[in-house]
Amino acid sequence: MTSADEYAALMNSLNLPNPKMMDVAVPANMKVGLAQDEIARRGWALNAADAMALVGRPEVAFIDLREKGEQERHGAIPGALHAPYPDLRHNIAPGGMLRALAGDRRLLFYCAFGERSAMAVQAAQDARLASACHLQGGIDAWKKADGPLVR
């Protein structure tokens, strides 16, 4: 595409129905990144360079919140535990896997771009898991900082 007009013409030629719920979707999409800003303001975020220094340290558990397909396509941080975001509530509840880990480890959540992990940190903090933090910018920021990945 070389111009907005060319893009608009292409989209119009597809004869797609008008998108539903645009009044909800557009404002929600404009808020992307706000959860991360608030989590960082509270001191619960690490940048990629600081997080890289923690790889392999026994007192830190990297928690990959992405779906399996995302891991397969983009790789994972070495030694990370897979705990998909949809299972978070169960995992941080009493008896949950992440609650047990939080007793003697710092939980460092990450996802693709940092939005799910920011929400996970807030949920973990609300559940009194004070050691929870997240990788700001997610695996995208990690890759841009040349962080190690395993497939």
Which of 111, 115, 118, 106 has its CA nearest to residue 76? 111
pTM: 0.78
pLDDT tens digit at each of 151 positions of the chain: 677 888 778 778 887 777 665 565 555 555 555 678 889 999 999 999 999 999 999 999 999 999 999 999 999 999 999 999 999 999 999 999 999 999 889 999 999 999 999 999 999 999 999 999 999 999 999 999 999 999 8
We report the CATH number of the domain holding residue 87 as 3.40.250.10
In a domain, 14, yes or no: no
| pLDDT value of residue 26 | 55
**16 falls within a domain:** no
Answer yes or no: is 18 within a domain: no
Q: What is the DSSP string of 15-78?
A: TPPPPTTHHHHHHHHHTTTHHHHHHHHTT-EE-HHHHHTTTT-TTEEEEE-S-HHHHHHH-B-T
Residue 23, domain member (yes or no): no
In a domain, 129, yes or no: yes
Domain span holding position 63: 33-144
The count of structural domains within the chain is: 1
25 domain residue, yes or no: no
